[in-house]
Amino acid sequence: NNAGGPWTTLALWLIGGLLAWCGAVCYAELATTYPRDGGDYEYLNRAYGRWCGFLFAWSQLVTIISGNIAIMAYAFADYGARIWPAWDKPIPMAALSAVIALSALNALGVAAGKITQNVLTATKVLGIAAIVLAGVGFAFAKPRFAPSLPPPAIKSTSVALALVFVLYAFGGWAHAAYVAAEVRDQRRNLPRALGFGIAAITLIYLIVNAAYIYVLGFDIARHTATPAADVMDHVFGSWGTDAVSKLVMLSALGAINGMILTGTRVYAVWAADYPPLNWLASWNRRRVAPVAAIAVQALIAVFLILLVGTYAGRQAFNVALSTAGLRPVLWERFNGGFETLIVGSAPLFWLLTLLTAVSVFILRYRDPSAERPFKIPMFPLPALLFCATCIYMLHASLVYAKWLSLIGFVPAAIGCAVRFALRPKSRS
């Protein structure tokens, strides 16, 4: 909606892919140099001290990853209600069911979680291919009708704001570093997974957005909230819209499963470093699953779904805000409330990511003798671009969130207090 033209739109996706690649090569160097599960937790520990790693893991558990799981679960249930109206009333229950079912599946073992992830990813790729084929088919067949949307009263463009949404779409690739110790042949496969993965995602985004623009026309594609559904409906009819809704549901399940699979590894490694939290680091050795971490993350995600997805939870949240002297949340502004979790946690997320980006320079200076199987190409340019991207996203998210950023920073402050009450194990 904020891009000035079709070529600008495609250029933004290409730039987004380039910036994400800059971040990917930074993580590839860190993950191959320090191949321990936990990703950022390990790098922040080494660069800034144990307090910073603790803050990262705590924030992922209580706000960032658990909040994103809740959001994806709600997206799954919301799109399900569009296909099956009976889901409309119990949307929170459908969201809870998705979280509980996938958490239980991952508790069965790493094999079950990986198989589920592969199946969901393959299905999603097939769905994306269907959208692209719809665009190709449109080129050879006369459309049934031309979709039309009333033009907005005021047309405004902001390439900078458009880039914010593009970069959000590329999010999630850093989770590969969370399971670095479980990757076979880390020195070769981690850089390949991150680098080639970003390249493949960028290509997919370019092709899909080109299909949107070609089938719908730029003016319609930039203003519709459901371009994929519009393309499928335009070419295949009403069943195409249902197919896209099911694709979004599968995509949401894939995102939930991926976060459960990778996020719980961070908590298990983190808890193993602090004796009072050792219970959270307990693994089922036969199934290779951090069962306690999976259960706690699921409970927090369930709490967040009930907090922002039910009337009673929203009322309680606003009462707490009023007691603290803050304005209540206007839930309708955030699509029923779930966007508050993303909006509120985004500034903290980008602050922590910025610290990880800077840690590349700190660790190269502090630990020059460490073997680096993969080194950032054209260093330091990609690392500097990644740092600039994080600063830009941190500023943009603070401007948009305003006082809602307390949703992320207040739990982080509590985490700092908890950290001072705990004595970590010594590390060799």
**Averaged over 362-371, what is the pLDDT?**
94
Q: How many CB atoms lie within 10 A of CB 396?
A: 20
Asked, as a colleague might, if the bond just before 380 is cis with ω within 30 of 0, I would say yes
Give the E-state strand segments of 25-182 in sequence order: none
Task: Read off the pLDDT band of 174 (50, 70, 90).
Answer: confident
Q: Is the pLDDT of residue 151 over 60?
A: no
The pLDDT of residue 297: 95
For the CA atoms of 30, 31, 37, 39, the dihedral, rounded to the nearest 10 degrees, stands at 50
The residues that bridge with 289 in the sheet, in sequence order, are 284
The pLDDT of residue 149: 46
Q: Is the pLDDT of residue 299 over 90?
A: yes
**What pTM was estimated for this model as a whole?**
0.85
Residue 322 burial (10 A CB sphere; 0-12, 13-18, 19+): exposed
Calpha distance 260→105 (Å, rounded): 10
Identify the residue whose tokens are 């949340």: 329
**Averaged over 243-255, what is the pLDDT?**
84
More confident residue, 53 or 159: 53
Q: Is the pLDDT of residue 386 over 70?
A: yes
Question: 128 to each of 121, 140, 367, 377, how far by Cα in Å?
Answer: 11, 19, 44, 31
**Averaged over 126-147, what is the pLDDT?**
61
Task: Read off the pLDDT band of 327 (50, 70, 90).
Answer: confident
The pLDDT of residue 4: 63
Separation of first and last alpha carbons in the chain? 52
pLDDT above 70: percentage of residues in the chain? 86
Look at the alpha carbons of 240, 243, 248, 254 in this order and tell me if their dihedral is positive or negative: negative
Q: Which helix (DSSP H) or strand (DSSP E) does residue 163 occupy?
A: helix 159-169
Identify the residue whose tokens are 């369930």: 302
Question: How many residues appear in the chain?
Answer: 428
Q: Is the pLDDT of residue 351 over 90?
A: yes
